Amino acid sequence: MFVLALTDERNQPPKSNLAPLLIGFAVAAIGMSFGANAGYAINPARDFGPRVLAWLGGWGTVAFPGAHWYLWVPIVGPLIGGVIGAVVYDLFVGDVLRARGVPPAPDVEGFGETVEDRPGGDGELEQHGRTVRDR
């Protein structure tokens, strides 16, 4: 929900590209608060790979600590939690901002993709991809 709140155009996003820094602070805060108990297991790719490597390296069941096969929690938890958080944000914050008629922040760039120039059949450059849409 925090990431969505920082990147939502209608929710007064941070200026000067501060969103990545603030998201990094949030990840660090979550890691510092739950790291001792769960081994910083907030990212399945970061948690499961080292555990498998430790298991293959001969650590055995020490690589997968916890009772009742706890290893599935750091894999499934962030995936389900991310979806639930996005739905909750969209229902309780996003819809309210849209219903109030809050316009997107004026200094936020529109969505789009970079236009690529590729040589065409006649030797001239052709533009491919989408450009930023006008609002």
Q: Which domains does the chain have, with CATH numbers?
A: 2-105 (1.20.1080.10)
Identify the pLDDT of residue 49. 84
What's the average model confidence in pLDDT over 39-68?
82
Identify the pLDDT of residue 130. 47
Residue 116 confidence (pLDDT) above 60: no
d(C-alpha 39, C-alpha 128), whole Å? 45
d(C-alpha 58, C-alpha 41), whole Å? 21
Residue 82 confidence (pLDDT) above 70: yes
134 versus 105: the higher-pLDDT residue is 105
DSSP structural state of residue 24:
H
What's the average model confidence in pLDDT over 50-55?
88
122 versus 19: the higher-pLDDT residue is 19
Q: What would the two tokens of residue 91 be?
A: 């229902």
pTM over 0.85: no
Q: What would the two tokens of residue 82 be?
A: 């991310």
Identify the pLDDT of residue 135. 42
What's the average model confidence in pLDDT over 46-50?
81
d(C-alpha 1, C-alpha 14), whole Å? 15
